[in-house]
Every structure is written in C-alpha cells, then in structure tokens.
C-alpha cells in the first residue's frame, strides 16, 4: 500500500467509471474532466447523471448483468483507467435469511462483479501504455461498523482482492481508495460527519496522478490510515516476498 514514484497523466486518456451518475462517481467525472481526458465512459444503471460534457459518453452499465457488461466491453476499443465505483449499502437486519441475501447482493456488487469486469477488460487495459484500475473500497474494510456488518465484509473482501490484483497483474497500477463517510445519496440521513464528495474526488485524482496505491481521501479516512496504513503496507510487502525468500 506504499506510494510509488510513477506519475500518471490523465490527458488524452480513456476512462471508465461505474456508478458515475451520482455521488463520488459523479464527483470523479467532474474532477477528471479538468485534466483533459480523451473520453470518460460514464456508467449508470438506471438514470443518467445531471451533467454533460463533450468528453463524457454516458453508458448504461449494470455491472451485475453479464449482457450489460458484455455490451459495454465490446463497445470500448481503448481504455487506460477503470474506476470500480458502483456500490450499494444495505443496513443489517435481524432476519437471518434476509441478512444472508443482503450479504450475497453486496458481495456480488462490491467483489465478484468488479473482478469480472476487470477480467473482461484486461485485453483492452493491457493495450494501454500505463493501465490503471481504481477500486473504491472503504475505510470500513479494516473494521466493521455497527449496523453495516455485511457492507463492511464485502469491502474487506474487495480490499484483499485489490492486494491480489497487484500480485497477479504487476503491469497494471492497482489502487485501493478508502473513503470515510461521504455526503452522497447512500449516506442520506446519517448522523456521522460527512466528507464533501468533490473534495474527496480531488484528493483521489491527485493520488492517482501521484502514483499512489492506497488513497485515504478525507479526514476520517486519514485517521484510519494513521492506525493501519503503514502496518498493512509492511505486511503486504512481507507476504509478497514470502515465497521468494
């Protein structure tokens, strides 16, 4: 999880962002536009975003639907950056059967579907001179939040999978982003202090351009990084070297 020294220029790049119509996805679209990308493929499931730009190509994309994924992959001829941002939050319930169903839905949305999308886009990404995958995880990947245990479990799985992607695809810059509670539709009604989505997006894009592999984009996330960041980075490196010793 340590930073690298490789700089990344977003100018003239092709970018795909899932869940780009609102929240952090929309904020990332608007921020990346400032760096003159070639095109942003802005994915949405049911409704387009409320903003337009000549560089934005809105694409109906349900990452949990194989046909939708296949159609999108077939239509994208070049890609430099994939941002797996689409997500859901289903609060914990006391109904055990419903809780298991909710967990399966969140594991599919946050782990299995992003991994399948990455696999489908690998040939296109590998054709890039500097391919990048950005997984929007959560600071809750490191410890469960009461009332959101299933969500935290799915994000912890995506965190582990992102570490695995770095091992399997060393030619691709694989970035984990760990936001704290952020002011989006998903957190409506939350009593927790909420980070501003645009402020977080600026920090995330800066981290992408600086070549970081782990980005903690707000005050709450930075507090988590101070507790776990260096330790996780050290452990990841130790495990990387484990079989080579």
Q: What is the pLDDT of residues 159-212, one digit of tens each?
A: 999 999 999 999 999 999 999 999 877 666 666 788 999 999 999 999 999 999
Instruction: Say which residue, 3 or 93, is predicted with more confidence.
Output: 93
Return the CATH number at 51: 3.40.50.720
pLDDT of 31 strictly over 50: yes
Cα–Cα dist 78/38, whole Å: 10
When computed from its CA atoms, the radius of gyration of the chain, rounded to whole angstroms, is: 17
Can you read off the two tokens belonging to residue 44? 């949405």
Is 179 inside any structural domain? yes
Alpha helices (H) along 65-170: 66-75, 96-107, 113-126, 149-168
pLDDT of residue 188: 62
**If you average pLDDT over residues 30-51, what whole number do you get?**
96
Is 110 inside any structural domain? yes
CA 10 to chain centre: 17
40-44, 131-135, 182-186: least confident range: 182-186
The range of the structural domain enclosing residue 137 comes to 14-242
Is 7 inside any structural domain? no
**If you average pLDDT over residues 22-36, what whole number do you get?**
97
Is 3 inside any structural domain? no
pLDDT of residue 4: 46
Kindly report the backbone phi and psi dihedral angles of residue 5, in degrees, each rounded to the nearest multiple of 5, phi listed first. -105, 5
Is 106 inside any structural domain? yes
Q: What is the dihedral of CA 194, 199, 202, 205, to 10 degrees?
A: 0
Is 23 inside any structural domain? yes
Is 6 inside any structural domain? no
3 band by pLDDT with thresholds 50, 70 and 90: very low
What's the burial of 187, exposed, middle or buried (CB within 10 Å: 0-12/13-18/19+)? middle
State the average pLDDT for the chain.
93
Element (H, E) at 221: helix 219-224
Is 93 inside any structural domain? yes
**If you average pLDDT over residues 23-29, what whole number do you get?**
97
Number of domains within the chain: 1
Q: What is the dihedral of CA 77, 83, 86, 89, to 10 degrees?
A: 160
């Amino acid at each position: 999880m340590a930073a690298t020294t490789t700089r990344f220029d977003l100018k003239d790049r092709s970018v795909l962002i899932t869940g780009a119509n609102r929240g952090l996805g929309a904020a990332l679209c608007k921020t990346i536009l400032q760096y003159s990308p070639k095109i942003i493929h802005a994915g949405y499931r049911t409704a387009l975003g409320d903003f337009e730009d000549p560089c934005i190509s809105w694409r109906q994309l349900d990452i949990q639907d194989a046909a939708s994924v296949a159609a999108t992959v077939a239509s994208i001829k070049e890609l430099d950056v994939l941002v797996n941002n689409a997500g859901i939050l289903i609060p914990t319930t006391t109904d055990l059967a419903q809780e298991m169903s909710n967990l399966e839905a969140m594991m599919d949305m946050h782990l299995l579907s992003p991994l399948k999308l990455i696999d489908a886009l690998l040939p296109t990404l590998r054709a890039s001179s500097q391919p990048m995958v950005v997984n929007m995880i959560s600071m809750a990947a490191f410890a469960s939040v009461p009332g959101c245990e299933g969500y935290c479990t799915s994000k912890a799985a995506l965190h582990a999978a992102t570490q695995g992607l770095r091992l399997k695809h060393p030619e691709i810059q694989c970035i984990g982003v760990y936001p704290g509670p952020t002011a989006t539709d998903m957190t409506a009604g939350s009593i927790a202090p909420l980070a501003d989505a645009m402020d977080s997006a600026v920090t995330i894009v800066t981290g992408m351009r600086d070549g970081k592999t782990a980005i903690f984009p707000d005050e709450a996330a930075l507090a988590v990084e101070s507790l776990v960041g260096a330790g996780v980075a050290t452990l990841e490196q130790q495990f990387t070297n484990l079989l080579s010793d």
